[in-house]
Amino acid sequence: MNIADPILDQIAVVLEPHGLVPRGGFVFDEGTAPHPIDGLVPQSVVLVGHFGSSIWPHFARWQQHHPGVQDPLDIWSKEILNAVAVKFGAIAAFPSDKPYLPFQQWATCAEGLRASPLGILIHPQYGLWQAFRGALLFDRVLDFPSSSPQRYPCDDCQDKPCISTCPVNTFCDDEYEVVRCLDHLASGEGEACLRGGCLARRACPVGREHAYSVPQMRFHMDAFAKG
């Protein structure tokens, strides 16, 4: 049984006041590490994210003092994680930054998650109500606790309501018809999704008790609809 690097607990303490948590991590294999960033050669990565609406009160307060900021959730995440990175001698990386880094692949390695039929990673406890806000890259090998493979809840779901609930059949033939979805939202007929959150996502029975608050759902849907 390996002993986790104490820096992981220290990172958790610093993230907690923001509603964020370390979401696992791993040591890069030879050839899988990203290219050096600002002179740092990554050897280990710690994913950072949240479950449910844990970040929402903290982000909402920040947004009140930063009205009109473009991509506010990304800016908020970068303010926090860049400061955390400096504190621990790491470099912060983000899903929205180009060139895009393989965050979904990293999440699979860090927590053993797999994509749901909607394409969103699904957690066996929190379902679709979780996300990754960034990552901390270290130039040394960290010791991560041993982990067991996560149960994939979609294997036990026969009806797949996430697919059948979409009013415009956006999820079909293992593809997501993003243009069809956006057209539906813009037509005025997608008001239920815009105001209360994606109907397909809300139909998933896994982790419903952890669903985002209505204001958080509206924020994400508005951002998506505006592109």
DSSP one-letter string for 122-148: EBTTTBT-EEEEEEEEESS---PPP-P
204 and 101 together in one domain? no
Give the model's pLDDT for residue 3.
62
112 and 160 together in one domain? no
**57, part of any domain:** yes
Is the predicted pLDDT of residue 1 greater than 60, yes or no? no
Give the model's pLDDT for residue 2.
56
Per the CB < 8 A criterion, the answer to whether 96 and 71 are in contact is yes
Q: Hey, is 4 helix, strand or coil?
A: coil
Tens-place pLDDT, residues 9-39: 999 999 999 999 999 999 999 878 888 888 8
**1, part of any domain:** no
Residue whose pair of structure tokens reads 């999704």 in the numeric block: 193
Q: DSSP letters along 186-207, please?
A: HTSTTHHHHHH--HHHHH--TT
Q: How many CA atoms lie within 13 A of 219 on its CB side?
A: 17
133 and 190 together in one domain? no
Q: What is the mean pLDDT of residues 59-63?
A: 97
Per the CB < 8 A criterion, the answer to whether 18 and 81 are in contact is no
Per the CB < 8 A criterion, the answer to whether 184 and 204 are in contact is no
94 and 194 together in one domain? no
The last residue of one of the domains, among 133, 148, 163, is 148
196 and 101 together in one domain? no
Q: Which two tokens stand for residue 177?
A: 């018809």
Please, which pLDDT band fits residue 174 given cuts at 50, 70 and 90? confident
State which residues form the domain around 131.
6-148
What is the count of structural domains for the chain?
Answer: 2
The last residue of one of the domains, among 130, 148, 166, is 148
Please, which pLDDT band fits residue 162 given cuts at 50, 70 and 90? very high
Give the model's pLDDT for residue 64.
95
113 and 129 together in one domain? yes
Give the model's pLDDT for residue 111.
92
Lowest mean pLDDT among 38-42, 116-120, 169-173, 197-201: 169-173
The last residue of one of the domains, among 125, 148, 171, is 148
**46, part of any domain:** yes
Give the model's pLDDT for residue 215.
95
Tens-place pLDDT, residues 177-187: 999 999 999 99
For the beta carbon of residue 54, count every other beta carbon within 10 angstroms. 17
143 and 158 together in one domain? no
Tens-place pLDDT, residues 99-155: 899 999 999 999 999 999 999 999 999 999 999 999 999 999 999 988 777 889 999
159 and 52 together in one domain? no
Give the model's pLDDT for residue 185.
93
Residues facing residue 137 across a β-bridge: 45, 91
Give the model's pLDDT for residue 32.
81
107 and 126 together in one domain? yes
Residues facing residue 37 across a β-bridge: 40
Tens-place pLDDT, residues 74-104: 999 999 999 999 999 999 999 999 889 999 9
What values do phi and psi take at 84, rounded to 5?
A: -65, -40
